């Protein structure tokens, strides 16, 4: 099962979020109960080499590898796919032209302009037939355009209508900064929840997937109710600190 087929079947998937560019750390994260592991090149420390090496432990744990590329580096979307990523998240897609360029590098012709060379991806997924790979890749990979500014919100329907864009992914931290015009950063801001619900509803009407980064795990149910089906819970910093805190509490009898 690919991440695409599971999302198409209406499943709700939880992805871990990794910013530590180290395959051993990713191996530990991938062994937890997540459905996917997202390797973050935007704010996390992941880079080409760590992505190349970290996808292996994710696949070995039977999880879906996902990559968030840096802002505007749509060329990295093709590379992440060539390394074996099943989905790519592009941050700060603020115009239909951004969406078009992102989709172009995610999809092979005739949808896009992705160049041929699945050097690591095809062997990692056991494919020996290049034509089958060419035929199947566009449907088997998921492109998520991030909606996290007012500019993106204003052209949401255009982004959703862009061929090759399979879904949107909301960045609620940046969205809260935009929403409050720089007054605050609060990914749980009540004031913007109605708009986040509307974004998921518009994605559904357009037949596209909706994902979101979740800071407060207790809000997952609410986001699922809104229609979000790809939920990110991060990051290793939190996994480590929450684990240590819990152990210490137990040890000290609190």
Which of 56, 8, 64, 7 lies closest to 36 in space, CA to CA? 64
Among the candidate windows 7-15, 68-76, 109-117, 145-153, which touches Mg ion by CB under 5 A?
145-153
Q: Which residue in 164, 172, 211, 227 binds ligand 3PY (CB under 6 A)? A: 172
CB burial readout 116-141, b (16+ within 10 A) else e:
eebebbbeebeeeeeeebeebbbebb
Task: Kindly provide the residue ranges of all beta strands, DSSP E only, lying in 10-137, ordered along the sequence.
Answer: 13-18, 36-40, 64-68, 87-90
Q: Should residue 174 be labelled a site residue for Mg ion when binding is judged by CB under 5 A?
A: yes
Query: Facing residues of 211 across strands?
Result: 169, 230
Nearer to Mg ion, 35 or 174 (CB): 174
CB burial readout 211-235, b (16+ within 10 A) else e:
bbbbbeeebbeebeebbbbbbbbbb
Partner in contact with 172, chosen from Mg ion, ligand 3PY, none, beta carbon below 5 to 8 Å by kind? ligand 3PY
Distances (CA, A) of 187 to 5, 27, 47, 170, 217: 29, 28, 26, 10, 12
Q: Should residue 236 be labelled a site residue for ligand 3PY when binding is judged by CB under 6 A?
A: no
Q: Should residue 174 be labelled a site residue for ligand 3PY when binding is judged by CB under 6 A?
A: yes
Q: Should residue 155 be labelled a site residue for ligand 3PY when binding is judged by CB under 6 A?
A: no
Q: Should residue 148 be labelled a site residue for ligand 3PY when binding is judged by CB under 6 A?
A: yes
Q: Should residue 211 be labelled a site residue for Mg ion when binding is judged by CB under 5 A?
A: no
Catalytic residue among 43, 47, 209, 237: 43
Q: Is 43 a catalytic residue?
A: yes
Nearer to ligand 3PY, 77 or 122 (CB): 77
178 Cβ contact list (under 8 Å, min separation 6): 148, 149, 150
Q: Should residue 19 be labelled a site residue for Mg ion when binding is judged by CB under 5 A?
A: no
Active site members: 43
User: Applying CB under 6 A, which residues contact ligand 3PY?
Assistant: 91, 148, 171-174, 187, 213
User: Applying CB under 5 A, which residues contact Mg ion?
Assistant: 148, 171, 174
């Amino acid at each position: 099962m690919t991440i695409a087929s599971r999302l198409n079947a209406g499943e709700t998937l939880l992805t871990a979020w990794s910013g530590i560019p180290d395959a051993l750390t990713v191996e530990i994260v991938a062994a937890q109960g997540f459905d996917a592991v997202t390797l973050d090149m935007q704010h996390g420390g992941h880079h080409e080499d760590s992505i190349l090496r970290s996808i292996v432990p994710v696949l070995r744990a039977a999880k879906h590898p996902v990559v968030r590329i840096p802002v505007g580096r749509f060329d990295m979307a093709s590379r992440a796919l060539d390394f074996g990523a099943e989905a790519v998240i592009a941050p700060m897609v603020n115009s239909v032209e951004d969406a078009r360029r992102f989709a172009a590098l995610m999809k092979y012709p005739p949808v896009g302009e992705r160049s041929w060379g699945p050097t690591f991806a095809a062997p990692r997924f056991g494919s020996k037939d290049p034509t089958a790979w060419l035929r199947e890749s566009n449907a088997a990979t998921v492109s998520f355009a991030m909606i996290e500014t007012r500019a993106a919100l204003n052209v949401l329907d255009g982004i959703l209508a862009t061929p090759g864009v399979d879904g949107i992914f909301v960045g609620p931290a940046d969205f809260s900064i935009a929403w409050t015009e720089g007054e605050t950063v609060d990914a749980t801001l009540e004031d913007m929840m109605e708009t986040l619900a509307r974004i998921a509803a518009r994605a559904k009407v357009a037949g596209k997937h909706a994902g979101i980064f979740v800071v407060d795990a207790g809000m997952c149910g609410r986001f699922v109710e809104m229609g979000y089906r790809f939920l990110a819970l991060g990051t290793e910093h939190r996994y480590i600190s929450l684990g240590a805190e819990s152990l210490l509490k137990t040890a000290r009898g609190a």
